[in-house]
A and B are shown apart, each in its own frame.
Chain A
Amino acid sequence: MPDNQLPLEQPELYALGRILIAGPVADARPFADKIAAAGHSVTLLVPEEEIEFAGKKHKVLAREEAIEPDEYSIAIELHCVSLEAKADALFYLDDSLNEDTLILTYTLAISTGELARELMMPERVVGLCILPPISETKFVELMVTPLTSVDALSRAEEFFKGVGLGYAQVGDSPGGVLGRTVCCLVNEAALALQERIASAQEIDQAMKLGVAYPFGPLTWGDRIGLDRVLAVMDGLYAEFKEERYRPAPLLKKLVRAGHIGIRSGSGFFTHRQA
């Protein structure tokens, strides 16, 4: 079972300073709104080229600006698919923040341990797995690596308790429990569609009515983003090297064509742009 056990009594409540959220605006901002709604002050650390889209609600820093390490007790790194951007942000945070700052890293498509082990202080890193869209987050999965300290995990749990989000600790695995399950459902539906077992509408309708899923699997894929579904499948395949995680060719074709779902206006279905 879990590698780390919670201590029976919480040692002390940490005074939370500002929360630093690093990532692309589209994901960082809605997550910052949720954190801020629970009473925290948030700073967004966004790519230079996105700074004009970051809004005025939260303090905003561009990646090139120096961060004031004493201000932050927790940093949340939210890069989703690009491993390069994620590594870049993590090294930067690891370098710039105080030693006791907790780092939560978004681990949708890779294992937390993959990048954490490269950092100077991997013991303060906890993986954070959320099924996109991040703006609709209700629940987070917290992942520890063999290097994560007990203290880091309990601080992460304390934080999400305070924010009012559901959370559970799970083992370190690409996609977590939810991402893995839902992305495999999307992938299976993509295979069925590719094989013309039924039309896209009928597959979705059948799964909603036949097994009462909250969304049809193809619509769900479009909501998550097909690039992200593919990243989870690739991550699972890389981790397990098993045939069951082979991405559907149709999924790859759509992603290559830029048809990644709601964010691009089309995926399995055509979506009217908001």
Chain B
Amino acid sequence: MGAGIAQVCATAGISVTVCDPSPEAVKRAQKQIDADLKSGVEAKRITREQEQETRSRIRYVSGVGECGEADLVIEAVFERLDIKQELFMRLDAQLAPPAVLATNTSSLSVTSIAAKARFSDRVCGLHFFNPPTRMKLVEVVAAKQTAPEVIERCASFVREIGKEPALVQDTPGFVVNRCARPFYGEALRCLGERIADVMTIDQILREGGGFKMGAFELIDLIGVDINYAATRSIWEGYFHEPRFAPHILQKKMVEAGRLGRKSGRGFYEYPNAG
């Protein structure tokens, strides 16, 4: 996801450094960005000049020590609290305020990441949606420690890169992932209670509700395991609040390896996948 975010920033005219401890990961990021820009030129979404300019704005380095000066750091490493906390301790020591340190977490507590920084009031969340090059929304997450002016700066940064900021408090699932829970949860309940089958539920949500995709088509696209993990994480974050509880069907599907499109079978079958 970091590569996508870097590309969005560079496209908007901002100089970006892509930084990863692994040289291979840095190469992969460069490859992904270059390929996406090239296809943008081919599809005439951008000109060849824009492609060149965008590429010239991105610098690739391996090693956190090499990232140099920055006004804003957006961390997009693996979703594990201890890894993120350790990184924020290093970034905090390396970059003096007023540089802003932002985490692109979707499920971890921004407050507990910020707690590892000495200057914790300049830490916030910038939750991009996948793929960042296409999704318009960024949740700007205020941790318990975040200073109001840091939120303001981040919101104007989000607008500068052509996205829409939503200012949210640091709570499990923030706004989008939390408020979307009933879409999956009630569809699963209806299925579990045998009120209707998978296809009927999806048809009702699409044709009756105007949703672009039915709940089960969407879960299959997201990945049944990923959707299950997101459900669990919000449920645990709210101390097992019953309305966030996962459904046994999600667990059984994961146990059976029916993970959705990527595994060839989820709530639907995908004979041509993989």
Q: Which A residues have a C-beta under 8 Å from some C-beta of B?
A: 1, 131, 138-141, 166, 168-171, 173, 176-178, 180-182, 184-185, 187-189, 192, 195-199, 202-203, 205-207, 209-214, 217, 242-246
Number of chain B residues close to chain A: CB under 8 A: 46
Q: B44: CB under 8 A from chain A?
A: no
A202-B167 in contact (CB<8A):
yes
B169 CB, min distance to chain A CBs, angstroms:
5
A225 CB, min distance to chain B CBs, angstroms:
16
- Contact A171 to B175, CB < 8 A, known contacts A138-B207, A196-B169: no
- Contact A166 to B171, CB < 8 A, known contacts A1-B194, A206-B139, A210-B129: no
A198 — which chain B residues lie within 8 A by C-beta?
166-169, 175
Interface positions of B from 226 to 260, Cβ below 8 Å from A: 241-243, 245
A181-B183 in contact (CB<8A):
yes
Q: How far is the CA of A211 from the CA of B176 in the complex (A)?
A: 7
Q: Kindly specify which of B27-35, B62-70, B195-203 makes contact with the partner chain.
A: B195-203
A198 CB, min distance to chain B CBs, angstroms:
5
Q: Kindly specify which of B75-83, B92-100, B184-192 makes contact with the partner chain.
A: B184-192
Q: B271: CB under 8 A from chain A?
A: no
Q: B274: CB under 8 A from chain A?
A: no
Q: Which of A189, A192, A244 contacts B242 (CB 8 A)?
A: A244
Interface positions of B from 118 to 154, Cβ below 8 Å from A: 129, 135-137, 139
Q: How far is the CA of A217 from the CA of B186 in the complex (A)?
A: 15
Q: Which of B167, B179, B187 contacts A192 (CB 8 A)?
A: B179
A214 CB, min distance to chain B CBs, angstroms:
4
Q: B268: CB under 8 A from chain A?
A: no
- Contact A244 to B185, CB < 8 A, known contacts A139-B207, A141-B204: yes
